[in-house]
Each structure stands twice: as C-alpha cells, then as structure tokens.
Amino acid sequence: MSSARDDGPGGHGDTAVAPDGSATTDRAILELNNVEVIYEEVILVLRGLSLQVPEGKVVALLGSNGAGKSTTLKAICGLLPSEHGEITDGDIRFDDHDTTHIDAAEIVRLGASMVMEGRRVFEHLTVHENLTAGAHTRRESYDDDLDMVYGYFPRLDDMRARVAGYLSGGEQQMLAIGRALMAKPRLLMLDEPSLGLAPMLVSEIFGIIKRVNEELGTTVLLVEQNAQRALEIAHHGYIMEQGRIVLEGPARDLVENPDVKEFYLGLGEGGTRRSYREVKHYKRRKRWL
C-alpha cells in the first residue's frame, strides 16, 4: 500500500486492483486529475484531488465530515453550479469523455448515476412512479429492469402503490438506489448510504450493493463515513482529508493499516475499541499529515 500523490490520478496509471489485492490492467472508467473546486469564488474545498475508479470494481472514498467527499461526487456529476461551486483546475474524465464542465443531465446520459445523501426520493409519488422516473433518459422498454430492481429489493415489490413519503428511512434508501439502477448506469455513485440507518438495514443495503457490482458488473464509487462497512465490500479505497487524498490502497490493506484502524475504525492495538478521550486529538497525531 502506498500513500497517494497529488501529481497523478491516484498514483495508479492504468493499474487497478483485483478483489484479492493483486494488480490488474483494468481500465479506469473514471479519472479525476488534480481537481480543484472553489465555492462562492473564495472557499477552496478540493485541493488538487486525483483518483481513479477501475471499471467493474467497488471503490470506497472515506473521510471525516468536511473532508470534501460529497463535493467530489458533485464535481463528478456536474452538480456544482447549482451550489455556486466550480472546478477551477484539473479535469474529470468518464468513460473516455472529458466531463469536467458538462451538465448533470448529459453525465447521466453517458451512464453515471448518483444516489445523494439524504435519499431525496419524490415523496408525493408512489414507489413504482419513483422507479419509472429513474428511467426517464431511456427510450427502450424497461419492464425487465423494474423486475430486476424489485428482485434486489423485495420490500419495494410489496409497496409498489405506496406513496414514497410514507416509507421508512431504510425503505427510502432502497428506493433511491433502485431508482438510480433504473437508468442502467455503468457507474453508480452513493453518498453516505448508511446514514441514519439501523445496523441490520446497513448490512442489508451493503449486501445488495455488493451483489449489484458482482451480478450486473456495475462500477461503484461509495462515499462513506462507516469505513468498516465500506471496506468490507470495496476492492480499493481512498482516504480524504482537507480536500486531498492522503492514503490509498487495496481495501484489505487499508483495513489492516494501524492508522486507519485507529482513526477510522476506532480500534487500537490488538483490535480493542478506543474511547473518545483516546482519539479526540487524532488530527494532530495522524502520521500521514
């Protein structure tokens, strides 16, 4: 495992990582190269961020609140202008297209879908209508894909006619992921899918994300604060601090990294869980900063 560099896309070139941690030559479906993002023309959030997402893999992007994870996804999806943000340096390439300054609708048409933090379902529409809305960019029949989504989320199948605003938080998260899958994305991006959910629901949803990757071949970029869960299903991981990638490597190596154990998994030496008092000053003690 190596620390990431700011002068290249995650320090990988064209090399990706297989589930067993070995090197492969899978091409990157997504590349961010030295991306800088500024809000309101003065607030610098991303500071030369570079990373790669190999096609067909699950990549976890981890970090604490304010690290710039959600801004990274918004930059990829073309959503920054709606929040008075802009990419002021670097470039983003998705599937060999320069998407640095392309609008969000075109990026969806190219095959990238995002499930935003907070679920954001259409609360006044039914479950079925929400899923149908997810296929709005498609011209061909999508009945088979509806069956596919209901197969991954049987709870939704039993609630087709229920108004989405009356679903539980976990059910809304399932609906948001299902709606994104209706666009048949090649790249599925998820922003904090575990947020506010009970542990059993988190396990269920992460299990489905893993199945989607393995069974459909969908590439996944997973933004999470729940590092343990994310690294369990990811092939590769990046850790962000203050708008930069500070550490990256195969997921299984990150899980065993002592700094990651202490600062993101809450574990000390011997795997014992650390108390808040023991880790509250972590920022000034991190070895990689």
Tens digits of residue pLDDT in 30-87? 999 999 999 999 999 999 999 999 999 999 999 988 899 999 999 999 999 999 999 9
What is the token pair recorded at 287?
Answer: 């070895």
- Tell me how far apart the alpha carbons of residues 249 and 51 are, in angstroms, rounded to a whole number: 11
CATH number of 1-111+185-195+204-248: 3.40.50.300
- Tell me how far apart the alpha carbons of residues 183 and 145 are, in angstroms, rounded to a whole number: 9
- CA-based nearest residue to 221, from 65, 106, 61, 87: 61
Percent of the chain residues topping a pLDDT of 90: 69
Instruction: Provide the residue ranges of all domains of the chain, joining segments of one domain with +.
Output: 1-111+185-195+204-248, 120-184, 257-289
| Burial class, 92, CB count within 10 angstroms (exposed 0-12 / middle 13-18 / buried 19+) | buried
- Cα–chain center distance at 248: 15
- Tell me how far apart the alpha carbons of residues 31 and 82 are, in angstroms, rounded to a whole number: 23
Contact in structure between 5 and 52 (CB atoms under 8 Å): no
**Does residue 274 surpass a pLDDT of 90?**
no
CA pseudo-torsion sign 28, 191, 214, 239: positive
DSSP secondary-structure letter at 273? B
- CA-based nearest residue to 84, from 120, 115, 38, 35: 38
**What length does the chain have?**
289
Q: What is the pLDDT of residue 3?
A: 39
- Tell me how far apart the alpha carbons of residues 56 and 198 are, in angstroms, rounded to a whole number: 28
> Confidence band (pLDDT; 50, 70, 90) for 272?
low
Could you report the per-residue pLDDT of 111-154, keeping only the tens digit for each? 999 999 877 899 999 999 999 999 887 777 788 999 999 999 99
> Global pTM?
0.83
Which comes out higher in pLDDT, residue 25 or 91? 91
Question: Sheet holding 112-115: strands in order across?
Answer: 112-115, 187-191, 219-224, 58-63, 236-241, 244-250
